[in-house]
Structure 1
Amino acid sequence: MSKDESRKHLLARVECAVRGGFEGEEELLEGLEQWVEDELGEVDGELVEELGARARKLLQEQRVLEASWSEPTLNDALDSAFEELNANGIVALENAGYTMSDGWSDVNEVASYQDTPPRGAVFYHGQDLERGVAGQGLMLAFGAYESNSAKHEAASLAIAREVCDTLERHGVKTEWNGSLEERIRIPPFEWRKRRWTEVARA
Structure 2
Amino acid sequence: MNEEQWEEQVRAITHEVLAGVQNVALYTGGPGHWGVGIDLISDLGQVLERKIVSTRGEVVKPMLAARLGLSAKMEELARRLGALGVRPEDTLAPWEKEVHAIAREVLEAAGEDAEVRLDEAGHWRVGLEVFDEERFELRFRVLATTRGDVPLPLLAEKLGLSAQAAELARRLGALGVRPEDTPLPEEEAAMIPEAVEALRLGLDIGVHSLPRLLDDCSHSSWTELGDERALRKVLKEFSQDVRKRLEEEKAWPEVLEADRLEAAFKDLLDSGIVAQMGGGNTLSSGWSAVREEADELRERGLELWGAAFFHEQDIESALAGGSLHIAFGELDEEPSDKDVQTGQAVVEALRKHGFEPDWNGSADTRIQVLPRFTWRRRRSRVDTLEHLSIGTFPADLVELLPQLRTIWMRAAELYLYDLAGMWSDSVEQLTLEYDSEGDALEALADVTALVKKRFPRLQTLIVKDRNSFEETVTLSG
TM-score bracket for this pair, using the shorter chain length: 0.7 to 0.9
| 1:71 to 2:262 alignment | no
Question: Whose relative contact order is higher, 1 or 2, with alpha carbons under 8 Å and at least 6 apart?
Answer: 1
Aligned-residue offset at 1:120:
0.6
CA distance in 1, matches of 2:198, 2:321: 15
Moved more, 152-161 or 162-171: 152-161
- TM-score, normalised by the number of residues in structure 1: 0.78
| 1:182 to 2:368 alignment | no
Give the direction of change, closer, same or farther, for the CA distance of 1:55–1:123 in structure 2 (3 Å limit): same
Query: What is the CA RMSD across the aligned residues, in angstroms?
Result: 3.0
The structure number with the bigger radius of gyration is 2
> Cα deviations across residues 86-134 of structure 1 (Å, max 9, x unaligned)?
1110010111122211111111112223124412100112222222223
Give the direction of change, closer, same or farther, for the CA distance of 1:197–1:36 in structure 2 (3 Å limit): closer
> Cα deviations across residues 22-54 of structure 1 (Å, max 9, x unaligned)?
3333444x538x746576656354553443233
Partner residue in 2 for 1:20: 205
Partner residue in 2 for 1:134: 320
| 1:103 to 2:317 alignment | no
CA distance in 2, matches of 1:119, 1:36: 35
Give the direction of change, closer, same or farther, for the CA distance of 1:112–1:129 in structure 2 (3 Å limit): same
Aligned-residue offset at 1:63:
0.3
Unaligned runs of 5+ in 1: none
What fraction of aligned residue pairs are identical, expressed as a percent? 27
Q: Secondary structure at the match of 2:365?
A: coil
| 1:119 to 2:302 alignment | no
Q: How does 1:23-172 map to 2 (within 5 A)?
A: 23-28=208-213, 30-31=214-215, 35=218, 41=224, 43-45=226-228, 47-113=230-296, 114=298, 115-145=301-331, 152-172=335-355
Aligned-residue offset at 1:177:
1.9
Unaligned runs of 5+ in 2: 1-186, 383-477
1:195 is matched with which residue: 355, 362, 379?
379
Structure 2 residue identity aligned to 1:138: L
Question: Does the Cα contact within 8 Å between 1:6 and 1:40 map onto a contact in 2?
Answer: no
Q: How many residue pairs are counted as aligned between the two chains?
A: 192
Give the direction of change, closer, same or farther, for the CA distance of 1:87–1:25 in structure 2 (3 Å limit): same
Aligned-residue offset at 1:70:
4.2
Question: Does the Cα contact within 8 Å between 1:85 and 1:166 map onto a contact in 2?
Answer: yes
Question: Does the Cα contact within 8 Å between 1:146 and 1:155 map onto a contact in 2?
Answer: no
- TM-score, normalised by the number of residues in structure 2: 0.36
CA distance in 1, matches of 2:322, 2:230: 29
As a proportion of its length, which structure holds more helix?
1
